[in-house]
């Protein structure tokens, strides 16, 4: 199957700093990438959908100025958590999809801990 990577796999930061998470599709070109947040033992919460070359579409309740998403190329999307606070601590997962109807392939996730 297709491979999606995320970097870093985990990060610890101080409150008030910004953290960037990268999501890469390694062997296919992803026209659409998704960013999810997952709390312990819970389902995935879609944060935003990004299409290459256009602005991300954020889900209701997700602050776009807080969670900056850039999908600059067909193989790379980044999520920047700006001015992180402890409540932003979570497991962030990206996924990538080639076309509508195609399978979403997920990255391994990034564990963020804000102190």
Partner 1 sequence: AQSVAQPEDQVNVAEGNPLTVKCTYSVSGNPYLFWYVQYPNRGLQFLLKYITGDNLVKGSYGFEAEFNKSQTSFHLKKPSALVSDSALYFCAVRDTNAGKSTFGDGTTLTVKP
List interacting residues with partner 1 (CB under 8 A).
1, 4, 6, 32, 34, 41-44, 46, 49, 91, 93, 95, 100-101, 103-109, 111
Q: Are 15 and 112 in contact (CB under 8 A)?
A: no
Of 52 and 82, CB closest to partner 1: 52
Residue 16 beta carbon to partner 1: minimum distance, rounded to whole angstroms: 26
Residue 113 beta carbon to partner 1: minimum distance, rounded to whole angstroms: 13
Of 96 and 114, CB closest to partner 1: 96
Residue 83 beta carbon to partner 1: minimum distance, rounded to whole angstroms: 26
Using alpha carbons, list the distances in angstroms from residue 108 to 54, 61, 66, 105.
25, 25, 23, 10
Residue 68 beta carbon to partner 1: minimum distance, rounded to whole angstroms: 20
Of 46 and 82, CB closest to partner 1: 46
Q: Are 86 and 115 in contact (CB under 8 A)?
A: yes
Task: Identify which of 56, 51, 60, 52 has the alpha carbon closest to the alpha carbon of residue 69.
Answer: 56
Of 12 and 15, CB closest to partner 1: 12
Q: Are 32 and 51 in contact (CB under 8 A)?
A: yes
Residue with tokens 């999520």: 79
Structural tokens at position 97: 């999809």
């Amino acid at each position: 199957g297709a491979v999606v990577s995320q970097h870093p796999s985990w990060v610890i930061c101080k409150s008030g700093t910004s953290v960037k998470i990268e999501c890469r599709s390694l062997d296919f070109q992803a026209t659409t990438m998704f960013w999810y947040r997952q709390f312990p033992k819970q389902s995935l919460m879609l944060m935003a959908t990004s299409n290459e070359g256009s602005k991300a579409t954020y889900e209701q309740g997700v602050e776009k100025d807080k969670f900056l998403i850039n999908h600059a190329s067909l193989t790379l999307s980044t999520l920047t958590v700006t001015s992180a606070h402890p409540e932003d601590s979570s497991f962030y997962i990206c996924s990538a999809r080639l076309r509508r109807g195609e399978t979403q392939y997920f990255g391994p996730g990034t564990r963020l801990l804000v102190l």
